[in-house]
Structure 1
Amino acid sequence: MEQEIKSEFIENNFSLEDEDEILNKCVAFCINYKLSPSDLVSSWVVYYLNMQLDGSKVQNAHVDGFLHHLQNKQKHNILKEESNVHMYSSNDVNMLLGEEHKDGEEGMLDTPIKQSYFDNLNDLSTPISMDRSPERNGKSISEKSSRRTSSQATPFGQRTNKFLLQLSFNSHSKADDTKDLEIDALGDDVIRRVQDIESCSLQVQGSWPKPGFRFMYDKVEDRFNALENRIRRLSSALVASGECGEPSDATLASQKTLFSVGMVCCDGEGRLNDKSILFQGSVEHSGGQRVRLDLKNLVQFSLFPGQVIGIEGHNPSGHCFIASKLVDSFPLIGSSDLDLPPAKKQATDQNGEPATKASRELSIVIAAGPLSTTDNLLFEPLTELLAYARRKQPQLLILMGPFVDTEHPKIKKGTIDESFAEVFQEEILNKLHDYCAHMGPAARIVLVPSTRDAHNDFVFPQPPFEIYPSTDPDQQITCLANPGVLISNEITIGCCTADVLKQLSGEEVSRMSTDALSIDRIGRLVSHVIKQRCFYPVYPPSVGLPLDFSIAPEALHMASIPDLLLMPSDLAPFIKALPFGEGSDTEKYSRCLCINPGRLAKGVSGGTFVELSYLNNPDQTSASIIRI
């Protein structure tokens, strides 16, 4: 084929600059786009004339632009053919299943059916749109959804190991195993009819800030107040719990043992270490002054910039506070169930009434972006995830950003022909609408944005997406702020897409005791967020995070410890159950299930997601990390 392509170029008075490399690319173009050598060169002539290129030599620098020309041409041909696509009705489905038609039904359309069609029906990645799909504005959802597919084989599409179990948390119960077997058996049918799923309640808690708010107006005063209020709030919680007395000024010289509450700071711009730790007290007790902190007497500690701690010790010189005890966990104050035993906490709902067993059960599929591989914007991982969800039928599907990723090569280069909002609507929302129509009215989806979303405000905390009722009349898609909290079936779920774990990993300085048998560093990083009662406790924030201090105190504060804490990160995926109060016998069963589902797409290959079945508490909950 290379000689044929070369001959066609010569016949059209073109020469090749880097002959071997250009011919190899042209052969790939012919195979991927099903072109003959003459058709390929004819397309090159059109591209050559349209771009008004100089000279008759085909240069390697022009080949990438020629590829883009071929892709646009193929896209145009696909969209042109879509008007003739046949939408299968229930009669067609019955015909394929071999069922007889009842009198009065409309006649079958005379559409030829190939054997390959039957072979593809069992493919998990090819969901069938059932006749239960509602019509909107005279068109079905599947007609409105984007069908921009490519005949070119992608690395993601050619992967062999699909839906592999990476990690399992708790063993499945027999009921779960039976349900999985039933679902697997249903997947072998020619067309699997959708079973009704049990609906779940959904209530957004303090989804703030609201869409359309003004940002980038924070002042130095806002930053000061945000840090000061955080120190005061945690100090008041510690005093109210009775664990310590009234805090004093740690900067004053004294031989007596003092207790103070303040924030960890670094004495320079570099990474924090045990020699550069400063302690900044509150304005109320020390005027906001700082003092060097000496931790030589502590057997173990774990600190990071911005962490609020309580320290006990003395300051003999007035320039260095020698700590003998450190408190980094603060109790919750103001919760109505603090005095209840753990069993009672789990057995009561928000109204104080005994919660039924069903009210604390929830099946969830959790995934975090990017949702498309870096070699294209076909969103193949998202399509595969929705196909998996169609099969497993979870009550709740939680998708966290980025959705339209600013780090995607095509977004960075600006080579797409649509706005970011149009990509989000056509490639993501339309697919989610199809999923809801297929699953029925009980299906629920939660969307959480990311600061890497090109179509949303670049600020943290971040407002939720705006989805107008006309595009989601059944209101099956709920948009959450970042960070945000929601309650589903009496289960509190906290979400934050800022990669705080990755920054904590780079900023933390720690010392562990020599007799420690095992060190769970990931668990320690996650526990910082829970202990600080803050979704993003690091200060100063990461360079790429646009933290707005004028809204941060209300939006970042963790009013209560959630049952599930979702923290997507570039670190390794994990599922961990962490206790609320370390070393407290009365709270040994009060645990938070912390999850990092990983990224759904990693480069040109697939990533991971989480399937979870929550039952009453983390001890009875089963979860799995699955590779897409």
Structure 2
Amino acid sequence: MSELSDILGAYGASADVSKSLHKKLDDSTAVAPVTTPHHKQSHSLTRRRQYAAPGSGSAAVRGPDTPSSFTNQKQTPASQRFESRQNSGTVSATLNDSNLPVPSSWRGTCSQVCLSSVERTSVVAKPYAYMFQKVSSKVAALDDWLAELEDHFAKALELPDRGHPGVASQTEMTTVGRVCCDCESERVRANASSLVLECSSEFAGCRVPLNLKSVTDASLFPGQVVALDGMNTVGNEFCVSKVHKLPVPPLPAPATIAEPLSIAIAAGPFSVDDNLTYQPLIELMAKVAEEPPDVLLLIGPFVDTNSEEVKKCSVDMLYDDFFRALVEQKIVSQLPASTHLVLVPSSRDIHHHSVYPQPPFASWSALKKDNIHLFSDPACVSINGVVLGWTSVDVLMQLNRQEVVLGNAGDKQSRLPAHILQQRSFCPTFPPPKGVNMEVDQLLMEHNFMPCTPHVLILPSDFTRGFIKNVNGCVCINPSRLSKGLFSRMLIKPSSSAAGSSLASTSVTQLVNI
């Protein structure tokens, strides 16, 4: 303080000014003591401990680890519509090709349930480095994938050689390439006049406009690999006379199922659009507790980026903590001990890696149980020998928007899943759907190839209000969204079917209003 007085005196300050400054400094020191790094660390640790174990408190009483939205009783227009629905418990659709007796109870009775990936490349086992994709590796992956499917066409059609569609010729030829749109803007929809054929690097990747006036029974979309019969008479366009599609891969050999296998399937969002009370999920888990299935498959999004509450940033904790609280308090705590739970992420999950293919959720202590399983998106998984394939990406909606139908191409609900099986790809459209951050080299060369036609293909979509179809022996299910009040259930009866037989003949599948 004496040093301060000397400095003030040197600049001509009076004694009264010096005393006033001394008094203010003394008061500020007494009121606002210096906070040490140790104090900050203690406060931070306290906050972390509050959120370290979501779900440890009661779900009925809001604690530091319970989101306020879980206990919010405020009625919203969407929640009122959901609660006032009149079709609760009714069956919306059924697939029962063999007219098997519809079970009075869907309770699972399987004594042992075994889940495993079909092949190493059919699942993403762990997170990988993304956003490091080079243009050269992307081009190479697309060309390698086209070459892979060209080989399948060569075997299926017994092609001795493929012609160059960009070279003028008066002789009809068969060529293979990828269908593209000459304008790849999201605002422009593909049509018969805008389609071109992109060749592989064998023909320098040239693009040739397609003349489809002579085709009367085909459906094409950007990204589809096809074989075309036709000719390029003057060199400016390829006149197509016939479109060949890849045959669907064979079904896997099913294991002998000694006991009935009950599976329940639901896809997110699991709460209505304008709140995060998760009332549809609560009612689903009540149904599961009433009639426990052998397997409960839940496909994201769990914390949806499109939710109005998420857009308004009204969640009162970190999104990762919110997801953990949701899983522990709304799902795991209500899960019957006999039911195996499978959790699958979505690109719309705000707390998870927004990349496709998408790694599984990170596990924590509450999920380290023998009956809880975390799988990637997409994946092919075997459950007691029954192969299930799924993806959370709304591929059906993208195909519906981009598909060009020529003449009579058949039933759309069967045709769209058939494209996925024929292309051997969970996401065959290219460019990918809006909002899907596709890692092309990872998807096409590592985790995109379907090792076989799955017995059950699950494709959650906003396209129509859900459906169940038998497509070339594969049970294709669009379970719609649980927020719309729909989920699917299936019961697979014991059988000793031969290799390549259809599961549709030994199962009953329903689409149910929750």
TM-score range, shorter chain: 0.7 to 0.9
Instruction: Answer whether contact 2:117 2:123 (CA < 8 A) is retained.
Output: no
Assess, with a 3 A threshold, how the Cα gap between structure 1 residues 494 and 500 changes in structure 2: closer, same or farther: same
Equivalent in the alignment of 1:370: 269
Q: Aligned to 1:319, which of 229, 236, 246? A: 236
Q: Aligned partners of 2:59 and 2:247: how far apart in 1?
A: 64
SS of equivalent residue, structure 2 residue 208: strand
SS of equivalent residue, structure 2 residue 309: helix
Q: Aligned partners of 1:249 and 1:220: how far apart in 2?
A: 25
Q: Aligned to 1:309, which of 222, 226, 249? A: 226
Residue 380 (structure 2) pairs with residue 485 (structure 1): yes
SS of equivalent residue, structure 1 residue 417: coil
Q: After superposition, what is the alpha-carbon deviation per residue over 1:69-107, rounded to whole angstroms, capped at 9, x for unaligned?
A: xxxxxxxxxx9xx78999xxxxxxxxxxxxxxxxxxxxx
Instruction: Answer whether contact 1:146 1:430 (CA < 8 A) is retained.
Output: no
SS of equivalent residue, structure 1 residue 366: strand
Assess, with a 3 A threshold, how the Cα gap between structure 1 residues 317 and 473 changes in structure 2: closer, same or farther: same
Assess, with a 3 A threshold, how the Cα gap between structure 1 residues 171 and 263 changes in structure 2: closer, same or farther: closer
Q: Aligned to 1:202, which of 93, 115, 124? A: 115
Q: Aligned to 2:282, which of 368, 371, 383? A: 383
Matches within 5 A, 1:91-130: none
Residue 389 (structure 2) pairs with residue 494 (structure 1): yes
Q: Aligned partners of 1:84 and 1:319: how far apart in 2?
A: 68
Gaps of at least 5 residues in structure 1 are: 1-78, 87-143, 184-194, 333-337, 350-354, 580-590
Matched to 1:165, the amino acid is V
Matched to 2:371, the amino acid is Q
SS of equivalent residue, structure 1 residue 609: strand
Residue 141 (structure 2) pairs with residue 248 (structure 1): no
Q: Aligned partners of 1:85 and 1:509: how far apart in 2?
A: 52
Residue 510 (structure 2) pairs with residue 614 (structure 1): no
Equivalent in the alignment of 2:370: 475
Instruction: Answer whether contact 1:238 1:331 (CA < 8 A) is retained.
Output: no
Q: CA deviation at 1:297?
A: 1.9
Q: Calculate the TM-score normalised by the size of structure 1.
A: 0.65
Q: Aligned partners of 1:331 and 1:178: how far apart in 2?
A: 35
Instruction: Answer whether contact 1:390 1:435 (CA < 8 A) is retained.
Output: yes
Assess, with a 3 A threshold, how the Cα gap between structure 1 residues 422 and 313 changes in structure 2: closer, same or farther: same
Q: CA deviation at 1:292?
A: 1.4
Equivalent in the alignment of 1:64: none
Q: Aligned partners of 2:237 and 2:60: how far apart in 1?
A: 77
SS of equivalent residue, structure 1 residue 481: coil
Matched to 1:619, the amino acid is S
Matches within 5 A, 1:435-454: 435-436=334-335, 439-440=336-337, 442-454=338-350
SS of equivalent residue, structure 1 residue 550: helix
Assess, with a 3 A threshold, how the Cα gap between structure 1 residues 254 and 619 changes in structure 2: closer, same or farther: same
SS of equivalent residue, structure 1 residue 241: helix
Instruction: Answer whether contact 1:482 1:497 (CA < 8 A) is retained.
Output: yes
Matched to 1:459, the amino acid is V
Residue 482 (structure 2) pairs with residue 600 (structure 1): yes
Structural RMSD (CA): 2.7
Equivalent in the alignment of 1:585: none
Equivalent in the alignment of 1:187: none
Q: CA deviation at 1:543?
A: 2.7
Q: Aligned to 2:439, which of 548, 563, 566? A: 548
Equivalent in the alignment of 1:168: 94
Q: Aligned partners of 2:398 and 2:59: how far apart in 1?
A: 52
Q: Aligned partners of 1:297 and 1:416: how far apart in 2?
A: 57
Q: CA deviation at 1:179?
A: 3.9
Matched to 1:565, the amino acid is L
Q: Aligned partners of 1:158 and 1:375: how far apart in 2?
A: 16
Q: Percent identity, please.
A: 32
Equivalent in the alignment of 2:43: none
Between 1 and 2, higher relative CO (CA 8 Å, sep ≥ 6) is seen in: 2
Q: CA deviation at 1:173?
A: 6.8
Matches within 5 A, 1:383-462: 383-436=282-335, 439-440=336-337, 442-462=338-358
Q: Aligned partners of 2:280 and 2:99: how far apart in 1?
A: 29
Matches within 5 A, 1:25-104: none
Q: Aligned partners of 1:614 and 1:498: how far apart in 2?
A: 26
Q: CA deviation at 1:356?
A: 4.6
Q: CA deviation at 1:157?
A: 4.0
Q: Aligned partners of 1:152 and 1:317: how far apart in 2?
A: 69
Q: Aligned partners of 1:445 and 1:567: how far apart in 2?
A: 19
Q: CA deviation at 1:533?
A: 0.6
Matched to 2:436, the amino acid is L
Instruction: Answer whether contact 2:319 2:351 (CA < 8 A) is retained.
Output: yes
Q: Calculate the TM-score normalised by the size of structure 2.
A: 0.79
Instruction: Answer whether contact 1:197 1:393 (CA < 8 A) is retained.
Output: no
Q: After superposition, what is the alpha-carbon deviation per residue over 1:214-240, rounded to whole angstroms, capped at 9, x for unaligned?
A: 111112112212221121111111222
Equivalent in the alignment of 1:506: 401
Equivalent in the alignment of 1:564: 456
Q: CA deviation at 1:158?
A: 4.8
Q: After superposition, what is the alpha-carbon deviation per residue over 1:531-554, rounded to whole angstroms, capped at 9, x for unaligned?
A: 111111111112321111131112
Equivalent in the alignment of 1:217: 132
Instruction: Answer whether contact 2:59 2:66 (CA < 8 A) is retained.
Output: no
Q: After superposition, what is the alpha-carbon deviation per residue over 1:346-368, rounded to whole angstroms, capped at 9, x for unaligned?
A: 5x54xxxxx3543xx42111000
Q: Aligned partners of 1:173 and 1:302: how far apart in 2?
A: 32
Q: Aligned partners of 1:504 and 1:575: how far apart in 2?
A: 17
SS of equivalent residue, structure 2 residue 177: strand
Q: After superposition, what is the alpha-carbon deviation per residue over 1:272-329, rounded to whole angstroms, capped at 9, x for unaligned?
A: 2111221111112x11111111122222110001110001121111221112221122
Equivalent in the alignment of 1:90: none
Assess, with a 3 A threshold, how the Cα gap between structure 1 residues 231 and 224 changes in structure 2: closer, same or farther: same
Matched to 1:203, the amino acid is S
